[in-house]
A = this chain, B = another copy of it.
C-alpha cells in the first residue's frame, strides 16, 4: 500500500461538524471516509451509510475500509443524540438510545480500529465531548449520563493505547456549533456559535501534536461563552 494517502475516518459525519472535519483532513492530504446513519447531500470523500451501534455492521464495514485503504491514521468519533427532558419525561428508549448512539458506537469504533492502528504504527483517536461530559444538569439525565460514560471510556482507551502509539484525545465542545440546524433551533447570535471549521482546525492540530506533548483533554468554547 505504498504511496497511499493516510486515512482519516469520521464516525458521525452527517451535515455540520462531521463534514467540516472530513473537509479539513482531505485538504491536508488524507483519504477521508465518513460514516453515519444518513448520508449528507454532497458528502466530502467516501461516505458509508451504516448503523454505528450495530456490532456486525461496524466490524464488517471497518474491515472492508481497512482492506481498501490500510489502517486509519486518524479516527474521530463525533456522533450526537441530544435528549433534553426532565427525568420523569425521559423514556427508557430516550435514555438507552443516548447511550447506544454515543457510547456503544465509540466502543465498537475503538475495537475495530485501535488494534489495526497500533499494528500500523500508531495514530490518533479523538472523541467529541460536551459541557455535559463534566456536569450533569437538570433535564440532562440521558445526555449527561452518556457523555460522562463516553469520557470514562475515552480515558480508559488513552491509558491502554497511548503507550502503544495511539494518541487518544477527548475534546470538550462547550458551546453551540454553528450549523443550519442550530440556527433553526437557537436564537443565539451565530457570531457566538462555534464554527465547524475552527473545531476541525483544532482537531487537525491535536492529531499532529508531537509525541513529547500529547493532549488528552482540552475544552473549546467561544470567547463569548460563560463557563
Instruction: Name A's B-contacting residues (CB within 8 A).
Output: 55, 86-88, 90, 92, 95-96, 99, 103-104, 107-108, 110-111, 114-115, 132, 135-141, 144-163, 165, 167, 175, 178, 193-195, 198-199, 201-202, 205, 209-224, 226-227
Contact = CB atoms under 8 A, between A and B. Distances in A.
A210 B213 CA distance: 21
Instruction: Say how many copies of this protein the assembly contains.
Output: 4
Contacts of A158: 136, 227
Q: Is the interface of A mostly helix, strand, loop or mixed?
A: helix
A144 B115 contact: no
A99 B217 contact: no
Contacts of A195: 210, 212-213
Given A92-B107, A115-B88, A136-B151, A198 B220 contact: no
Contacts of A167: 223
Nearest to A162: B223
* Most chain B CB neighbours (cut-off 10 Å) among A104, A135, A155, A213: A213
B145 A152 contact: yes
A68 B208 CA distance: 37
Contact of A153 (B107, B145, B163): B145
Contacts of A202: 209, 213, 215
A132 B156 CA distance: 10
Contacts of A221: 213-214, 216
A88 B111 contact: yes
A216 B167 CA distance: 21
B213 A222 contact: yes
A97 to B, nearest CB: 12
A198 B223 contact: no
Contact of A215 (B99, B103, B132, B219): B219
Nearest to A98: B149
A88 to B, nearest CB: 6
* Most chain B CB neighbours (cut-off 10 Å) among A145, A199, A209: A145
